[in-house]
Amino acid sequence: MTRFRKSLVSLAAIAVLAGCGATSGRYLIDTPAPTQQVRVPLSTIEVRDVTLPDYVSSAEIMVQSEDGALRPVANAIWADNPVRGFTLMLARNLDTGSNAAAMTEPWPLTEPPHARVEVRVEQMVAQIDGTFRLTGQFAIGSPDLVVRERISRFDITQPISGTGAGAIADATGRALQTLSMQILRRMGG
């Protein structure tokens, strides 16, 4: 086989493989704008990478089926890596929902942040009953003890209005917004 022919075969294989993923819709995790600002007694917050269960860490959008199993939604994937997307949205929500500036790790400034937030998600599932459930724990650390350090549990449920991946992405965003407000309230008091 000539070099030219090998190149054509390679290009054809790449085109076929690229076409395999092109039919899946990509869905963003977006959150509603905060309706209120929470005053917190600090000015900077670092958000550590969110820890997600394996079934959420992949690109597939999962939904609970009638037999209780989690199955991927057909022709739908997350637009971003779920860990990255979830962490960035959380940082944005903490930033826009408070008087503090929030940023994801690694911390870019010379002076350390006044607080660090770490979130560990136990469950993140579109349930068969038409609700979206987000459970886990978050920790607020403060190297200089600017705020009281604490660990709190969360159990958030949001209705899924509609069907399909878009409705799941919307409910995910609303659940993340609720979690952000819970974290800010714990920081503030």
- What is the arithmetic mean of pLDDT over 170-186? 96
The pLDDT assigned to 4 comes to 39
The pLDDT assigned to 29 comes to 87
Is 19 among the domain residues? Answer: no
Q: Is 163 helix (H, G, I), strand (E, B) or coil?
A: coil
Q: Are 126 and 64 in contact (CB under 8 A)?
A: yes
pLDDT tier for residue 189 given thresholds of 50, 70 and 90? low
Is 142 among the domain residues? Answer: yes
Is 17 among the domain residues? Answer: no
Dihedral in degrees, nearest 10, Cα atoms 147, 34, 79, 162: 130
Q: How far is CA 61 from the centre of its chain?
A: 12
- Whether pLDDT at 13 is above 50: no
The 10s digit of each residue's pLDDT in 14-56 is 333 444 445 789 999 888 888 889 999 999 999 999 999 999 9
- For the CA atoms of the chain, what is the radius of gyration? 20
CB atoms within 10 A of CB 42: 18
The 10s digit of each residue's pLDDT in 87-99 is 999 999 999 999 9
Is 1 among the domain residues? Answer: no
The pLDDT assigned to 22 comes to 56
Number of domains comprising the chain: 1
- Whether pLDDT at 9 is above 70: no
The pLDDT assigned to 107 comes to 94
User: What's the CATH number where 61 sits?
Assistant: 3.40.50.10610
Is 36 among the domain residues? Answer: yes
Range of the domain at 35: 25-188
The 10s digit of each residue's pLDDT in 62-120 is 999 999 999 999 999 999 999 999 999 999 999 999 999 999 999 999 999 999 999 99
Cα separation, 117 vs 103, whole angstroms: 10
Q: Which residues contact 13 (CB under 8 A, 6 or more apart)?
A: none
The 10s digit of each residue's pLDDT in 111-165 is 999 999 999 999 999 999 999 999 999 999 998 888 899 999 999 999 999 889 9
DSSP states of 104-128: ESSP-SSSPPSEEEEEEEEEEEE-T
Cα separation, 188 vs 36, whole angstroms: 13
Cα separation, 185 vs 3, whole angstroms: 65
Predicted TM-score (pTM) of the model is: 0.85
